[in-house]
């Protein structure tokens, strides 16, 4: 066991886009486990869009990340010391130790996971919070029916990729929206979506984006899982069928913009299509997690749910990887490998 470990704290709140100066890398002493505690060496750190909201001081659905404290984040790692009867050395555990090489806690919220059938890192992706987010938003907000058309933005990402694959399993026509030909090819060829619209190909030509979406959704859109907001969202809303359902999971296009996400331009569409739009946060629905994670774990273990990871190397690489995530530079789930 080393004497020290590294962590990244929030050094300053961003004013608009996140920069490297918002973070500080610290080396701190490694604690020993007190009675009832465990010490965990984190193997992977999860980077997720929600972290951007925590960096602001403004009102959000969660308390802001305090300045000078370890950045929030989910981790998966191995118990290296235990004075807690529920955990043994070498147990693989998912926790919320943040942007940190080690974690020490009383074990509350720590979950032992099986790595025989499911790879360890998947517990931060399709069998973790991103997968549950997809599962909840699709099943409980959109409530898809076989034969319907379901559209998801950020379709190659950690959440979007699961949304589309689950919708396919429901018997839906599944259409992704992603940035660039590589991501779109992955979405259709590897994940099995029926179509994928490349929003970057349309550039600032909204008519072109609308036309591409129309081609991909000949029967309109019955369910929309929103991760990005902005022009993409406004375009899809204009394509909704009567009684469509829209799950607002994220609005990443506005997270780095001091003005926030772009407006919903045409609220009259709520009357034209009588659709329902609902924002949700998966942590509001913890009682459903065991059900969802079991289903997702089985799908991953049996190869029916595919996923892709972008892995940054070492904790010091986390800020740059996070900034890339906010700009869509990652491809699939963004992780940082720590050990």
Residues that bind a copy of itself (CB under 8 A): 53, 59-61, 229, 233, 242, 248, 250-251, 254, 260-281, 284
Compute the CA torsion angle 159, 79, 337, 11 (nearest 10 deg): 90
Return d(Cα 265, Cα 230) in angstroms, integer: 9
Closer CB to a copy of itself, 68 or 263, in the complex: 263
Closer CB to a copy of itself, 162 or 237, in the complex: 237
Quote the least distance from Cβ 252 to a copy of itself, whole Å.
11
Query: Tokens 């892995």 correspond to what residue?
Result: 311
Cα distances from 270 to residues 94, 210, 221, 240, 275, in angstroms, run 41, 18, 14, 10, 5
Residue 284 CB contacts under 8 Å (≥ 6 apart), including other chains: none
Quote the least distance from Cβ 133 to a copy of itself, whole Å.
12
Closer CB to a copy of itself, 233 or 338, in the complex: 233
Quote the least distance from Cβ 249 to a copy of itself, whole Å.
8
Q: Is 79 helix (H, G, I), strand (E, B) or coil?
A: strand
Quote the least distance from Cβ 318 to a copy of itself, whole Å.
24
Quote the least distance from Cβ 20 to a copy of itself, whole Å.
25
Closer CB to a copy of itself, 68 or 260, in the complex: 260
Closer CB to a copy of itself, 142 or 187, in the complex: 142
Lookup: tokens for 218: 């000949």
Residue 326 is inside which H or E element, if any? helix 318-326
Closer CB to a copy of itself, 131 or 250, in the complex: 250
Do residues 155 and 196 touch, judged by C-beta distance below 8 A? yes
Quote the least distance from Cβ 332 to a copy of itself, whole Å.
23
Quote the least distance from Cβ 230 to a copy of itself, whole Å.
9
CA nearest neighbour of 167 among 183, 149, 179 = 149
CA nearest neighbour of 148 among 227, 214, 219 = 219
Return d(Cα 248, Cα 242) in angstroms, integer: 18
Quote the least distance from Cβ 270 to a copy of itself, whole Å.
3
Q: Indicate the pairing of strand 38-46 with strand 102-105.
A: antiparallel
Do residues 55 and 13 touch, judged by C-beta distance below 8 A? yes
Closer CB to a copy of itself, 105 or 283, in the complex: 283
Residue 167 CB contacts under 8 Å (≥ 6 apart), including other chains: 138, 144, 150, 152, 174, 223
Q: Is 186 helix (H, G, I), strand (E, B) or coil?
A: helix
Closer CB to a copy of itself, 125 or 250, in the complex: 250
> What is the CA 193 to chain-centroid distance, rounded?
19
Quote the least distance from Cβ 152 to a copy of itself, whole Å.
16
Closer CB to a copy of itself, 280 or 331, in the complex: 280
């Amino acid at each position: 066991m080393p004497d020290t470990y590294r962590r990244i704290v929030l050094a300053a709140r961003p004013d608009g886009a996140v920069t490297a100066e918002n973070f500080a890398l610290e080396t701190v002493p490694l604690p020993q486990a007190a009675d009832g505690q465990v010490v965990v060496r984190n193997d992977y750190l999860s980077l997720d869009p929600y972290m951007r909201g925590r960096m602001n001081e403004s009102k959000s659905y969660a308390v802001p990340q305090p300045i000078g404290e370890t950045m929030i984040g989910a981790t998966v790692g191995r118990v290296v010391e235990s004075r807690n009867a529920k955990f043994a050395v070498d147990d693989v555990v998912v926790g919320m130790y943040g942007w940190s090489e080690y974690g020490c806690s009383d074990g509350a919220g720590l979950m032992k996971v099986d790595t025989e059938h499911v790879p360890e890192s998947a517990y931060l992706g399709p069998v973790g919070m991103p997968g549950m987010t997809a599962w909840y938003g699709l099943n409980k907000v959109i409530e898809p029916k076989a034969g319907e058309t379901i559209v998801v933005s950020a379709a190659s990402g950690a959440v979007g990729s699961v949304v589309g694959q689950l919708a396919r399993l429901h018997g839906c026509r599944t259409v992704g929206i992603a940035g660039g030909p590589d991501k779109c090819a992955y979405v259709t060829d590897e994940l099995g979506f029926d179509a994928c619209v490349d929003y970057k190909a349309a550039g600032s030509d909204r008519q072109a984006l609308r036309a591409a979406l129309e081609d991909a959704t000949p029967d309109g859109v019955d369910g929309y899982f929103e991760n990005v907001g902005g022009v993409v969202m406004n375009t899809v809303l204009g394509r909704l069928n009567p009684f469509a359902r829209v799950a607002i999971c994220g609005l990443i296009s506005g997270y780095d913009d001091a003005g926030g996400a772009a407006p919903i331009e045409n609220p009259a569409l709520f009357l034209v299509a009588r659709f329902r739009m609902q924002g949700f946060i998966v942590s509001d629905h913890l009682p459903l997690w065991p059900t969802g994670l079991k289903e997702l774990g089985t799908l991953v273990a049996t190869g029916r749910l595919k996923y892709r990871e972008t892995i940054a190397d070492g904790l010091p690489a986390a800020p740059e990887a996070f900034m890339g995530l906010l700009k869509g530079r990652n491809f699939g789930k963004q992780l940082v490998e720590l050990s």
